[in-house]
A = this chain, B = another copy of it.
Amino acid sequence: MALVEKRMREILRCPPPLQAIAEYILSLGGKRIRPLLVLLCSGIYPGSQAARIDIAAAAELIHTASLLHDDVVDAASLRRGRPSVNRRWGNSTSVLAGDFLFARAFSLLCTYPQALDAMAEAVAAMSEGELLQLHSHFNPDITPETYVRSIIGKTASLLAACCQCGGLVSAMPAAKIPALRDFGLHLGIAYQIIDDISDYALGHDESGKPRGNDLKHGIITLPLMHLLANPRSRGRVLELLRQKRQLAPEMLAGELRETGALAKSARAASRYIQQALGKLAVFPDTQQVRALKNLAAWLQEKCDRFSQDSGPPQHPGQPAEHPGAQPRLR
């Protein structure tokens, strides 16, 4: 991972005024889950170390570029607990710096056409997913299928591509790569559902982002879909959405408790984690595969924490409990 950081710094070497912005972006850090996935997935079978590091660095640059653009889209002011680039230098800088990072990432991937293809597809899916979400704001009729399609796009597609590319640049048998990709896809869906729950779960702050951001912007995620699916809370949520006023999770504290919406959402995430783990069965029990399992276990722990708020017994036929059948990427 230290080599990936070093590679990112090399790639982002550029003349001022961009250099200061690039350094600030890298200094914000992050969980680096995407490069970690690339490194682990490319390490199950032998392969070139330089290629692994290049692709891991490109994946994190693509992710960071998308964050720079998302911060503009969400009008965010904090990123990883510090002022976001758009807050510090303005929206225009955030847009252009994002483009610069995308371009440098793609330059880096030129040597690996298959990986580039997968990553370019992921970037297209990410913008599609974000647009889908953007155009569903304040829409109470959003279906579980649309929600899953949107989070596959905005999050899971890149995690899937990271795993796929890891396989592609190593000596992994081609027949096994889809399983690895599916692992990333399911893990990514769970990851985003957990992120969406965190936006409601006051007191579980780890992200460095302010809480209640989704609700404030009328983004309807799984917890709110549970409230909409429940006759006891649906009326109040509809009324709030209709007013399009600035919403905060606190306004729905009673409903969230009463319906167990967070716990139900956590159980949905947990099912995706189990599906992800199932995909690893075809791989040898290497150190890397064990680390991938640990990553899934780390997410499962978060789910378990949210699930402790068990809520009332589950009602049959609540659609949001099963957000879409098998996820599929276009």
Binding site for B on A (CB under 8 A): 14-15, 17-18, 21, 66, 69, 72-73, 91-93, 95-100, 102-104, 106-107, 110-111, 113, 116-117, 120-121, 123-124, 126-128, 130-132, 134-135, 330
Q: Are B14 and A128 in contact (CB under 8 A)?
A: yes
Q: Are B130 and A96 in contact (CB under 8 A)?
A: yes
Q: Are B69 and A96 in contact (CB under 8 A)?
A: yes
Residues of B within 8 A of A123 (CB): 99, 102-103, 106
Q: A65 — nearest CB in chain B belongs to which residue?
A: B99
Known: A66-B99, A103-B123. 11 other contacts (CB 8 A): A15-B128, A72-B72, A73-B92, A93-B135, A96-B130, A99-B102, A100-B124, A103-B127, A106-B106, A110-B116, A111-B113
Report the separation of the CA atoms of residues A61 and B136 in the bound assembly, to the nearest whole angstrom: 26
Report the separation of the CA atoms of residues A131 and B21 in the bound assembly, to the nearest whole angstrom: 10
Residues of B within 8 A of A95 (CB): 69, 72-73, 95
Q: A21 — nearest CB in chain B belongs to which residue?
A: B131
Q: Are A124 and B104 in contact (CB under 8 A)?
A: yes
Q: A107-B121, A110-B117, A120-B106 are in contact. Are A91 and B93 (CB under 8 A)?
A: no
A189 to chain B, nearest CB (A): 18
Q: Are B117 and A100 in contact (CB under 8 A)?
A: no
Q: Are A92 and B107 in contact (CB under 8 A)?
A: no
Q: Are A91 and B91 in contact (CB under 8 A)?
A: yes
Q: A93-B131, A120-B106 are in contact. Are A126 and B99 (CB under 8 A)?
A: yes
Which residue of B100, B106, B110, B111 is within 8 Å of A128 (Cβ)?
A: B100
Q: Are A107 and B120 in contact (CB under 8 A)?
A: yes
Residues of B within 8 A of A21 (CB): 131
Residues of B within 8 A of A100 (CB): 124, 127-128, 131
Q: Are B127 and A99 in contact (CB under 8 A)?
A: yes
Q: Are B107 and A124 in contact (CB under 8 A)?
A: yes
Report the separation of the CA atoms of residues A111 and B100 in the bound assembly, to the nearest whole angstrom: 22
12 A–B contact pairs at CB < 8 A? A21-B131, A69-B95, A73-B92, A73-B96, A93-B135, A99-B127, A100-B131, A103-B121, A104-B120, A107-B117, A110-B113, A110-B117
